[in-house]
């Protein structure tokens, strides 16, 4: 494994790193591989008639990126504490999205074996949680960020028609 100032640059075949953050009283995690950077909130430009979970757009180094309020998207009770608010700038499936969260705690290196399958008992979050990991005696919910984005913009997801265009797979010889 290669490390640079405590940052994991390569992980073992059974490890990943997650960024732990909070929204309200809940703790969540996102795979570090999806995170481009974590920044202090900047002025958001509102977009009339946009999806209720979209706060608006911001300019990050000349690129216009939507800002999703994760608390609203998850239906969680919100609170305001401007001292700890953060924007998590993400990129996955060739889409950049900024997620507004209340606080970013730290990065954890975990084993895939530590992730437990979510229960259907998460009332309302069952479709948005991909796993649960216990960290320092607390439950951290791993979110399905792709689903959150597809719920806002269904066109960003993979469609059956697109898969059919690819055609049948050819066997490797």
| Interval 146-166: pLDDT, tens | 999 998 888 765 544 444 444
Question: How sure is the predictor about 103, in pLDDT bands with cuts at 50, 70 and 90?
Answer: very high
Q: Kindly report the pTM of this predicted structure.
A: 0.79
Apex 172 CA angle, 169 and 173, nearest 5: 140
pLDDT at 24: 86
Instruction: Lowest mean pLDDT of 8-12, 82-86, 114-118, 130-134, name the range.
Output: 8-12
Alpha-carbon distance of 33 to 15, in angstroms, equals: 12
Question: How sure is the predictor about 64, in pLDDT bands with cuts at 50, 70 and 90?
Answer: very high
Contact 103, 21 (CB under 8 A): yes
Alpha-carbon distance of 35 to 40, in angstroms, equals: 14
Tell me the pLDDT of the chain averaged across its residues: 82
Contact 108, 17 (CB under 8 A): yes
β-pair partners for 4: 7
Identify the CATH number of the domain defined by range 11-157: 2.40.50.180
Alpha-carbon distance of 32 to 3, in angstroms, equals: 15
Reading phi first (left if > 0) and then psi (alpha if -120 to 50, else beta), residue 38 is in: beta
Question: How sure is the predictor about 12, in pLDDT bands with cuts at 50, 70 and 90?
Answer: low
């Amino acid at each position: 494994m290669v490390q640079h100032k405590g940052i994991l640059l390569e992980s073992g075949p059974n490890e990943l790193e997650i960024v732990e953050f909070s929204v309200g009283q809940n703790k969540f995690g996102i795979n570090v591989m999806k995170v481009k950077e974590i920044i202090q909130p900047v002025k958001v430009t509102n977009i009339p008639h946009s999806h209720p979970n979209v706060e608006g757009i911001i300019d990050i180094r000349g690129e216009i990126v939507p800002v999703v309020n994760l608390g609203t998207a998850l239906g969680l009770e919100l609170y305001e504490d401007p001292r700890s608010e953060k924007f998590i700038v993400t990129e996955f499936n060739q889409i950049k999205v900024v997620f507004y969260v209340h606080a970013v705690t730290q990065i954890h290196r975990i084993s895939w074996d530590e992730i437990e399958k979510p229960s259907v008992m998460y009332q309302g979050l069952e479709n948005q949680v991909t796993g649960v990991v216990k960290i320092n005696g607390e439950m951290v919910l791993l979110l399905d960020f792709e689903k959150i984005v597809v719920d806002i913009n269904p066109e960003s997801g993979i469609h059956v028609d697109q898969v059919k265009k690819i055609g049948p797979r050819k066997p490797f010889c």
